[in-house]
Amino acid sequence: MPRKKCAEAGCAAGARDEITNCCLRHGGGRRCVEPNCVNSARDGYDKCKRHGGCKRCVEIGCITNAIDGDDRCKRHNGGTRCSEFGCGTSARNGTDKCVKHGGSLCVEPGCRKSKQGATNKCIFHGGGVRCTEPGCGSSARGGLKCISHGGGDRCPNCVTWIDSRCANSKYDGYCATCFKQIFPSDPRSKIVYTHTKEIMVRNHINANFDGFIHDTPLYTGNCDCTHRRRIDHRKLIGNTILAIETDEFGHRAYDARDEEIRYDDVYMIHSGKWIFIRFNPDSNISKIDISDKLDKLSDTMEDCIARIERDENTELCEIIKLYC
């Protein structure tokens, strides 16, 4: 009789039990007994691999997991080794060679990264499981979607927000921002990274302009919806919202498509006009002193406010980039 498939939409793995009807990845089978851990327990143990639910390397002082079917971890020569003469590195993905010598390398010309899963390419070139969101080519994290579209573990405080953040084990499963806001007296909150450049821009704006709101979600009025986008600094002037976004590190790690969707979302919340000033404070990018950058930001804001008050801004959504 064929094995029953996982009940999770789009998953082709076999279900592990009749109670959950799910595979291990989606919650089937026995779970780890460690508090707050949702990983599956390993065969013969009551804990997952991360919490010690498997055989450990026999090398004295080593606490790393042993390779399946071996007594040692990869570092201590457990598992299949590379067949290249003189190489002691572990072989990869069913081959007899390590990555350096061609074992499981991405087939893209010139690429030296490892291929992922059942594909013949690395994550960068499209290997592994991809996000199921239409038009997204990013790799899926822990399921069917990428981090930008809700994949992976999410912070329980902002999980329903469209720009929810990833969970962080260092902060009890919350994202760093939410943890700092919910538990301000916790010692860990004192060392949480804060957007220091964004705070610097906020202080500069507050010292020179009145009425700007900092880092507060934009809610659609009179309804319970998920459009809770944050804007770094904003002020409603007439029928126009003037928004200043502090693009620390030039937002180089941000998904370009998600940035476009973000503009669409905020326009749905306020269907009047928008002027976005995207301000990059990093001195190592443009080699311009931050004080000169802040002066330029003030001049640009004053010009935008004057144009709004004279009703000279004609575009529905205008984007001004400063040092981006």
Shared domain for 201 and 83, answered yes or no, is: no
The predicted structure's pLDDT at residue 229: 60
Nearest Cα to Cα of residue 194 among 214, 221, 224:
214
How many Cβ atoms from other residues are within 10 Å of residue 247's Cβ? 21
Shared domain for 50 and 77, answered yes or no, is: no
Give the distance, in angstroms, between the CA of residue 283 and the centroid of all CA atoms in the same chain: 25
The H or E element that residue 290 is part of is helix 290-309
Shared domain for 237 and 287, answered yes or no, is: yes
- Dihedral pair phi/psi, residue 142, rounded to 5°: 65, 25
Burial letters for 20-45: b for 16+ Cβ neighbours within 10 Å, e otherwise?
bbbbbebbbebbbebeebebbbbeeb
Shared domain for 297 and 236, answered yes or no, is: yes
Shared domain for 206 and 313, answered yes or no, is: yes
By residue range, what is the domain housing residue 29?
1-54
Q: Can you give the pLDDT of all 324 residues of the chain as single tens digits?
A: 456 788 877 777 777 776 677 887 777 777 788 887 777 777 667 887 777 777 778 888 787 777 766 787 877 777 777 887 888 777 776 677 776 776 677 888 878 777 776 777 887 777 878 888 787 777 777 667 776 676 777 788 877 776 677 788 888 888 887 888 888 888 888 766 555 677 788 889 999 999 998 877 665 555 444 445 667 888 999 989 999 988 765 444 444 455 555 566 666 666 789 899 999 887 665 578 888 899 999 999 999 999 999 999 999 889 999 887
Shared domain for 208 and 309, answered yes or no, is: yes
* Crossing angle (nearest 10°) for helices 290-309 and 196-208: 50
The predicted structure's pLDDT at residue 22: 81
The predicted structure's pLDDT at residue 252: 45
Q: Which of 126, 151, 180 is the last residue of a domain?
A: 126
Please give the model's pTM, rounded to 2 decimal places: 0.41
Compute the distance between CA of residue 27 and CA of residue 48 in angstroms, rounded to an integer: 12
Shared domain for 156 and 213, answered yes or no, is: no
Compute the distance between CA of residue 5 and CA of residue 55 in angstroms, rounded to an integer: 29
The predicted structure's pLDDT at residue 43: 65
Domain total in the chain: 4
- Dihedral pair phi/psi, residue 276, rounded to 5°: -100, 130
Shared domain for 99 and 207, answered yes or no, is: no
The predicted structure's pLDDT at residue 59: 82
Shared domain for 86 and 101, answered yes or no, is: yes
The predicted structure's pLDDT at residue 300: 95
Tell me which residue has tokens 């502090």: 246
Shared domain for 46 and 62, answered yes or no, is: no
Shared domain for 287 and 305, answered yes or no, is: yes
Q: Is the dihedral of CA 308, 305, 199, 252 positive or negative?
A: positive
Q: Which of 39, 54, 69 is the last residue of a domain?
A: 54
The predicted structure's pLDDT at residue 19: 67
Shared domain for 107 and 183, answered yes or no, is: no
The predicted structure's pLDDT at residue 311: 93
* Strand bridging mode 230-237 / 240-246: antiparallel
Q: Is the dihedral of CA 228, 231, 235, 239 positive or negative?
A: negative
The predicted structure's pLDDT at residue 74: 74
Q: Of how many residues is the chain composed?
A: 324
